[in-house]
Amino acid sequence: MNDFRLPLGTIVEGFIDYITESFGFLFDFIRAVFKGAFEVVDVLLVSPPFWVIIVVAAALAYFTRGWKFTLGTVVGLLVILGVDQWENAMDTLALVLVASILAIVFSVPLGILAAKSKVASSIIKPILDFMQTMPAFVYLIPALILFRVGVVPGIVATIIFAMAPGVRLTELGIRGVDQEVVEAGQAFGASPWRILRQIQLPLAMPTIMAGINQVIMLSLSMVVISGMVGAGGLGAEVVASLNRIDVALGFEAGLAVVILAIYLDRLTAALGTGGTPLGRALGSLRRRPGAPITAPEALPEPAPERSAAPVPA
């Protein structure tokens, strides 16, 4: 037994070496695209003066949750500014935005596929288990080899790490849509695409949004780890403070991460539940105000001024 050893690690290493050599051009291309995307977002966040960003963030906060959240946002961002982590925080925010948008772009369609096909679901599920439970640092190693030091390995590792809840909750959401409503779509001759667009996705939206919220949260936690491969931002500060045993820097950078995390979490959670001033505003556009919530069972009295009026689009 002593000399028997499964050469799994060697095999994976050989595989990574092989694709590095054979598909180098492909990874260079991906690297260029991801890097470009990051730089665009980063410039948008870093170049304007800090107060512009704070005003935009506060406005978003106000329209999703209300004034308490707005106040918290302004205070939190001012704290980040006060501990001199503004630029790092914006770098990290850019990284999180790019990584989570890409993760969502990959995970939602995969979730739809898994919901539509049992075969796809049974293939995707173990891969997701693998991606979610493999220690996050491990992704950094091949990412580093394939994409070299910088933000790109960080983004790639983040996408892989953060995708799983997006796929899972999209699948769960779509499978959880009342089967009778889907049947109604079919019974009236709607195509599968129309049923997806008009019935399944809207009804699964709260669950999908919960998944997206999780994707963003995981992205943020992974983005810090990717500071180790030179992704910059708050992650780099945390890694540096660890190396120098710098408690002060570590706490300040860490606090900035927490503030960003809370802001993004509350923002996306509010979008998911729909119980927001923004959501209510959208909802009230669809129907007239003052429609009674409970209805008498008998035929309602004719109300010509309402029934004859044209319906708002």
Partner 1 sequence: MTETIAVKADRLYKAFGRRPHEMVRKLTGGASRDEVASLGTAAVIDASFEVRRGEIFVVMGLSGSGKSTLIRMLNGLLDATSGTVTVAGQSITGIPARQLRDVRRNNVSMVFQHFALLPHRTVIDNVAYGLEVQGVARSERLKRASTIIRLVGLDGWADSLPSELSGGMQQRVGLGRALAADTDVLLMDEAFSALDPLIRREMQEQLNELQAELGKTIIFITHDLNEAMFLGDRIAVMRDGRIVQIGTPEEILTDPANDYVAQFVQDVDRARVLTAASVMEPVRSVVTITAGPRAALRTMRDLQTSATFVLNRDRSFAGVVRDRDVLRQVKAGDTDLRAIVRGDATSVSPDTPLVDLVEASVGSDLAIAVVDEKNRLLGVIPRVTLLAALGNVSTGTGELPVIEPPATISVKVITETLRDTALEGAGL
291 binds partner 1 (CB under 8 A): yes
8 binds partner 1 (CB under 8 A): no
Query: Minimal distance in Å, beta carbon 202 to partner 1?
Result: 5
CA–CA separation, 267 and 264 (whole Å): 5
CA–CA separation, 75 and 305 (whole Å): 50
Query: Minimal distance in Å, beta carbon 289 to partner 1?
Result: 10
Q: Which is closer to partner 1, CB of 184 or CB of 258? A: 184
186 binds partner 1 (CB under 8 A): yes
248 binds partner 1 (CB under 8 A): no
- How many CB atoms within 10 Å of residue 93? 23
Q: Which stretch binds partner 1 (CB under 8 A): 28-36, 100-108, 182-190, 227-235?
A: 182-190
Residue by residue, DSSP assigns 228-270 as GGT--HHHHHHHHHHHHT-HHHHHHHHHHHHHHHHHHHHHHHH
Q: What angle, 0 to 180 degrees and rounded to 10, lies between the N-to-C axes of helices 247-273 and 50-64?
A: 40
187 binds partner 1 (CB under 8 A): yes
Sign of CA dihedral 290, 295, 301, 304: positive
CA–CA separation, 121 and 136 (whole Å): 24
303 binds partner 1 (CB under 8 A): yes
CA–CA separation, 158 and 204 (whole Å): 25
180 binds partner 1 (CB under 8 A): yes
194 binds partner 1 (CB under 8 A): yes
CA–CA separation, 304 and 29 (whole Å): 63
Q: Which stretch binds partner 1 (CB under 8 A): 92-100, 123-131, 210-218, 281-289?
A: 281-289
Helix (H, G, I), strand (E, B) or coil at 168: helix
178 binds partner 1 (CB under 8 A): yes
312 binds partner 1 (CB under 8 A): yes
Q: Of the candidates 149, 184, 242, 281, which one interacts with partner 1 according to CB under 8 A?
A: 184
1 binds partner 1 (CB under 8 A): no
302 binds partner 1 (CB under 8 A): yes
Q: Of the candidates 47, 133, 243, 294, which one interacts with partner 1 according to CB under 8 A?
A: 294
Q: Report yes or no: 95 and 154 within 8 Å, Cβ to Cβ.
A: yes
Q: Which stretch binds partner 1 (CB under 8 A): 25-33, 66-74, 118-126, 192-200?
A: 192-200
Q: Which is closer to partner 1, CB of 248 or CB of 291? A: 291
Q: What angle, 0 to 180 degrees and rounded to 10, lies between the N-to-C axes of helices 86-116 and 233-244?
A: 120
Q: Of the candidates 8, 188, 245, 248, which one interacts with partner 1 according to CB under 8 A?
A: 188
Contacts of 224 (CB under 8 A, 6+ apart): 92, 234, 235, 238, 257
285 binds partner 1 (CB under 8 A): no
Total site size for partner 1, rule CB under 8 A: 39
Amino acid making up residue 44: L
Q: Which is closer to partner 1, CB of 131 or CB of 205? A: 205
Q: Which two tokens stand for residue 202?
A: 């809207």
Residues that bind partner 1 (CB under 8 A): 178, 180-181, 183-191, 194, 198-199, 202-203, 286-288, 291-297, 299-304, 306-307, 310-313
